[in-house]
Amino acid sequence: MGPLQITATHEQRYHDQHLDLDFEHKTALRDTKPLRLTRKEYAILALLIQNAGEVVTRETLLLCVWGYSNQIRTRTLDEHIRQLREKLGEHSGTYIETIFNGGYRFQPFRAPRLIRRASQMTALLHTKPLGLTSKEYDLLALLIQNAGEVVTRETLLLGVWGYSNQIRTRTLDVHIRQLRKKLGEHSGTYIETIFSVGYRFQPSRIEPPVDG
């Protein structure tokens, strides 16, 4: 077994749009409200945040939080991660990423580009109303606002549905399919699927007329 490596940090605080941790006083806030964590839950979250962007192995978490006692099974870690995610709420899937057969990784919250709705949401295709639902409109608007860039599935779920754990990626697929159907024959040009990543909006390019 190789030597244990923990990234040292001199930061005394972590803060983003939703989460605020004070490492010195061991306090945690979510959306400005106290996050009621047990000592173990706080220790797990603090260790993940202090190694943000890096995979923290299950062995490291057990060793640092429980002392890696032979009486502690990995099921205990899974249960604490599950409870921690419940307390982190709708953005827990963004914050704590499970690395299969590896461990966990904390990803700082990055808000997607906001959709600013007009007083009336309208979309026309060949001067005719598209008749989009609010979710379809939000999807299309978010893709258009990032035209030419790949928008990940996670970003779309977060931007349109708030990334609730109750929202499955199948919901996104269904809405994209319905949106493409309403866009008609040019849907394949407008909305490009990036396999296992997300979608990209490509503006329509009008070909110049060919001289006879």
- The pTM assigned to this predicted structure is 0.49
Q: Which helix (H) or strand (E) holds 157?
A: helix 153-161
Instruction: Write down the mean pLDDT value for the chain.
Output: 76
CATH of domain 124-201: 1.10.10.10
CATH topology assigned to domain 13-106: Arc Repressor Mutant, subunit A (1.10.10)
Q: Residue 197 in contact with residue 147, Cβ under 8 Å?
A: no
Q: Nearest Cα to 66, choosing from 38, 95, 28, 34?
A: 38
Residue 80: strand pairing partners: none
pLDDT digits (tens, 9 = 90+) for 62-109: 888 988 765 566 688 889 999 999 998 877 777 888 888 788 888 877
Q: Residue 92 in contact with residue 35, Cβ under 8 Å?
A: no
Residues of the chain with CATH 1.10.10.10: 13-106, 124-201
